[in-house]
Amino acid sequence: MPKKQLLLIDGNSIVFRAFYAMHTQIDRFTNQDGLHTAAIYGFKLMLDHVLDKFHPDAALVAFDAGKTTFRTKKYADYKAERAKTPEELTEQLPYVRQLVKASGLHSYELKNYEADDIIGTLAKRADQAGYETLIVSGDRDLTQLATETTTVAVTKKGVTQTEHFTPEYMMEKLGVTPTQFIDVKALMGDSSDNYPGVTKIGEKTAISLIQKYGSLDGIYENIDEMKKSKRKENLINEEDIARQCQDLARIRRDAPIEVKLADLTYQGPQQEELVELFEKLDFKSFLAKMNITPQGGQKAAADIKFTELTESNIGELSKLKSRISFFLEMPDANYHVSPFAGFVIGNGDHWWVSRNVDLLTTPVIKDLLENDQIQKDTFNAKAHYVGLHRLGIDLQGIGFDLLLVSYLLNTNDNSNDLGQLAHEHDYYGVQSDEEVYGKGKGRHIPDDDQVFFSHLAAKGRAIEELNAKLSKKLHENEQWALYTDIERPLSLVLANMEIAGVHVDATTLKNMGSKLKERLAELEQAIYDEAGEEFNINSTKQLGTILFEKLQLPVIKKTKTGYSTSVEVLEKLQGKALIIDNILVYRQIAKIQSTYITGLLKVIHSSDQKIHTRYLQTLTQTGRLSSVDPNLQNIPVRLEEGRKIRKAFKPSHQGWKIFSSDYSQVELRVLAHVTGDHALQQDFIDGKDIHESTARRIFNLLPDEQVTPNMRRQAKAVNFGIVYGISDYGLSQNIHVSRKQAHEFIQNYFKEFPGVKEYIENIVKKARQQGYVETITHRRRYLPEINSKNFSRRSFAERTAMNTPIQGSAADIIKIAMIRMADKLRDEGLHAKMLLQIHDELIFEAPEEEIPRLKELVPKVMDSAVKLDVPLKVESKVGDTWYDLKKF
């Protein structure tokens, strides 16, 4: 018989987590009456998430009964420093309890005890009764309750991502047992619960002491053997404190709980109660998931009226003279090759749908789509340009692009699913594709016309209805120009680049591939010989076993699943065993072979011998593009071996050349501009080698002193570090110097470039105040974690606060240049084609006779794209293949 399953939830800690996870958006989550709802919302998310995977027979949510407990009675200071719970949270607690009840779970609290103790006690009883128990908490302290049959899930990020603690996992991760963890806490203390632990002992020290002596008792039994040290003194002097802390840290497992496990049967969701509660709370998305139309909300998708378009009624479309919405359904993400499933066209109360895309080529529709005087609103204009181009239609006159506008408003919720995105904007008149089409293997376009067509019609209407609201937001954010002057025209430029494609010579790749295959076979044999056995070299797990167990090489670094075998690690092992060099070379060649030879061969279109990538315009958090299917933005260049791949990238016509122009140090120039730093600006205005002049400044060289290559290299790394949001540790790792040394470099840098230092301080402050940062074109990135209490999340947000305006403004600049460049090529009647964008570089193919003109034109367009306080510099190259590019 399968074991009964028990779910125990630490109510208070989850509510706290949920509240603080969404704290930066505290005012977005309120109902009509101004009641804050973020914590309730988060709690519900957590419940759904847990119940999706774990199907309990019994379930209970434990709450704290009040401020005073047996712990506070014993130790007046316990939790004494804790800030008062804000009103915005306490007002939500009654509703969380209602939610728990309506969801069919029991709740329980006990005077003088904390929720932890209730959970500890019930978990123990459940273990004895043969249950399998899952505890969910936001508090790591509960991991002490893990046993063979009790798993503790602790929230990691937000409230839905959890880390599952079993005794084995704890041993692996922390190196102690759940019971020992209590003693670790006793030594290290807990600042949030306000008990101190032993002076100068933190987590690392505590763990190693407990590992050595087994327990707190073990330490004190053997304290005399410990060699004389400050630590030993502290341990002896503070034994009483340590014992007290142990008592505080230990969760009770014998609390006087009256309820029995048998009383805790999980009832399942109580539909009516939930609906009533969600309506009160304004939880439209949860109601929509339950297929309930929110009161006063949008009509359900099924109500929408539509007409199936046929050859006989197609004339009706001539009615469409004003703004219309259009959506072409392409089920595969890759719209270069996706089949066409159907389309919707219309406005207001008139929506026409069909599965027959050939109808689009009939003049009445084709003219509509190609007429730039009739505005078409859609979702993902770029996909539509490409898709319609395949049908021989030249789409013009795009007005509102729901996907693109949503991305500009908030890069954080950037789904490619129209329905999901509509829900983000509180519009529930359309379902998500996942709901209608299914997901994974089961995803398919429904056979039922009613189902499919009403979904299409709902999409058309969703686009139409969201236009006004989102356009207004663009204006409020000062992003209208960013949309109409940059992103929207860029979508057409990108579509044309994708359609143009780049010619890749399969024969060149195949020849390289067969040579690499031989080399791989040799390397493989050599590695097997040195290892003394055959194994899968591509498996990091097997490789780790060979290197660190069989060959006993020193372990440099561990990953969360085992030994790290990354390049940095292998390089440190070089010279210790012959096998290492061979593995490094094998890795390099295997990467080229799999990703760039076989990978690229797979995506050359047989019809034209070209590769047609897709640029994702609405993905990155900074405004950069990304490239997929395949990624043409990471073709090897740094190492000669890989660089040869570029020999296969050729012009698509005889007598044509590849031409490329790239911005030189664009990010540092943007840095000089946005920080206003005088010294940095002057160096660029004077046309200095920026890494050299940085070296000169931070190493305090006299005018007659030489900058050594090593100084320049280090200064270069500092410059990069500044752009990335520097930390002494990160820099020290990068250039292999001590952390102290790295710290000095950074201090010197800030002394020499005070404007940069001031900028960093200001941008972080600004991000904290307004919740987002901006680029020179008002592109936004929200940083909800900038106020996080978690050090590492907050630090990350601070680094991105300073990096995003730099990286993002550089992205803005090249986007503007691309639009102007496309216009110029057309206006001048040039045959040259823009093919690729690689963040700071544009690649073209052109007839040889146009090369002199491009050499003038492209740099001019690129360096005048925006006016900064420092000049932009552009360098151009030309060649017969991408590999052969040479400056000229």
Partner DNA sequence: CCTTTCACG
Partner DNA sequence: ACGTACGTGAAAGGG
SS3 annotation, 354-390 = ECCHHHHHCHHHHHHHHCCCCCEEECCHHHHHHHHHH
Instruction: Specify the residue, 376 or 624, whose C-beta has the smaller distance to DNA.
Output: 624
CA 569 centroid distance within chain? 26
Q: Measured from the CB of residue 199, what is the shortest distance to DNA in angstroms?
A: 10
Beta sheet of 342-347, edge-to-edge order: 307-308, 350-354, 342-347, 324-329, 376-378, 398-401
Q: Measured from the CB of residue 745, what is the shortest distance to DNA in angstroms?
A: 9
Instruction: Specify the residue, 292 or 836, whose C-beta has the smaller distance to DNA.
Output: 836
Q: Measured from the CB of residue 861, what is the shortest distance to DNA in angstroms?
A: 18
Give dist(CA 381, CA 415) in Å, integer: 15
Backbone torsions φ then ψ of 189, nearest 5 degrees: 75, 180
CA-nearest of 749, 752, 745 to 731 is: 745
Q: Measured from the CB of residue 545, what is the shortest distance to DNA in angstroms?
A: 9
Q: Measured from the CB of residue 540, what is the shortest distance to DNA in angstroms?
A: 4
CB distance 9 to 118 below 8 Å: no
Residue 350: its H or E element = strand 350-354
Read out DSSP for 35-46? -B-HHHHHHHHH
Helix, coil or strand: residue 611: strand
Q: Measured from the CB of residue 544, what is the shortest distance to DNA in angstroms?
A: 7
Instruction: Specify the residue, 21 or 360, whose C-beta has the smaller distance to DNA.
Output: 21
DSSP 30: B
Backbone torsions φ then ψ of 649, nearest 5 degrees: -90, 110
Give dist(CA 855, CA 834) in Å, integer: 14
Give dist(CA 31, CA 62) in Å, integer: 26
Instruction: Specify the residue, 560 or 867, whose C-beta has the smaller distance to DNA.
Output: 560
Which residue carries 């005399």 as its tokens? 224
Instruction: Specify the residue, 684 or 782, whose C-beta has the smaller distance to DNA.
Output: 782
CA-nearest of 428, 386, 420, 426 to 403 is: 420
Helix, coil or strand: residue 281: helix
Q: Measured from the CB of residue 595, what is the shortest distance to DNA in angstroms?
A: 4
355 has which bridge partners? none
Give dist(CA 371, CA 709) in Å, integer: 59
CB distance 812 to 479 below 8 Å: no
Q: Write down the H helix ranges in 725-790.
A: 728-735, 739-752, 754-770
Q: Measured from the CB of residue 146, what is the shortest distance to DNA in angstroms?
A: 19
Q: State how beta strands 398-401 and 614-616 pair.
A: unpaired
Q: Measured from the CB of residue 72, what is the shortest distance to DNA in angstroms?
A: 26
Instruction: Specify the residue, 122 or 235, whose C-beta has the smaller distance to DNA.
Output: 235
Q: Measured from the CB of residue 635, what is the shortest distance to DNA in angstroms?
A: 6
Instruction: Specify the residue, 167 or 599, whose C-beta has the smaller distance to DNA.
Output: 599
Sign of CA dihedral 572, 574, 576, 580: positive
Q: Measured from the CB of residue 82, what is the shortest distance to DNA in angstroms?
A: 18
Give dist(CA 321, CA 3) in Å, integer: 66
Instruction: Specify the residue, 518 or 791, whose C-beta has the smaller distance to DNA.
Output: 791
CA-nearest of 320, 330, 308 to 364 is: 320
Instruction: Specify the residue, 397 or 642, whose C-beta has the smaller distance to DNA.
Output: 642
Instruction: Specify the residue, 281 or 814, whose C-beta has the smaller distance to DNA.
Output: 814
Instruction: Specify the residue, 31 or 593, whose C-beta has the smaller distance to DNA.
Output: 593
Instruction: Take residue 408 and report the two structure tokens written for it.
Output: 């500009």
Q: Measured from the CB of residue 882, what is the shortest distance to DNA in angstroms?
A: 11
CA-nearest of 757, 802, 761 to 783 is: 802
CA-nearest of 578, 579, 577, 549 to 563 is: 549
Q: What is the dihedral of CA 396, 401, 404, 408, to 10 degrees?
A: 120
Amino acid at 517: K
Instruction: Take residue 182 and report the two structure tokens written for it.
Output: 């209590």
Q: Measured from the CB of residue 770, what is the shortest distance to DNA in angstroms?
A: 18
Residues written for the chain: 888
657 has which bridge partners? 846
Instruction: Specify the residue, 75 or 720, whose C-beta has the smaller distance to DNA.
Output: 720
Exposure b/e, 763-789, CB count within 10 A at least 16 = b = bbebbbeeebbbbbbbbbbbbbbbebe
58 has which bridge partners? 6, 265
Q: Measured from the CB of residue 662, what is the shortest distance to DNA in angstroms?
A: 7
Instruction: Specify the residue, 390 or 591, whose C-beta has the smaller distance to DNA.
Output: 591
Q: Measured from the CB of residue 60, what is the shortest distance to DNA in angstroms?
A: 28
Q: Measured from the CB of residue 623, what is the shortest distance to DNA in angstroms?
A: 9
Instruction: Specify the residue, 430 or 836, whose C-beta has the smaller distance to DNA.
Output: 836
Q: Measured from the CB of residue 222, what is the shortest distance to DNA in angstroms?
A: 22
Instruction: Specify the residue, 35 or 628, whose C-beta has the smaller distance to DNA.
Output: 628
Give dist(CA 451, CA 259) in Å, integer: 49
CB distance 74 to 281 below 8 Å: no
Q: Measured from the CB of residue 264, what is the shortest distance to DNA in angstroms?
A: 30
Amino acid at 138: G
Q: Write down the H helix ranges in 162-229.
A: 167-173, 178-188, 203-213, 216-221
CB distance 668 to 689 below 8 Å: no
Instruction: Specify the residue, 290 or 337, whose C-beta has the smaller distance to DNA.
Output: 337
Instruction: Take residue 167 and report the two structure tokens written for it.
Output: 């005794």
Instruction: Specify the residue, 75 or 796, whose C-beta has the smaller distance to DNA.
Output: 796
Instruction: Specify the residue, 107 or 588, whose C-beta has the smaller distance to DNA.
Output: 588
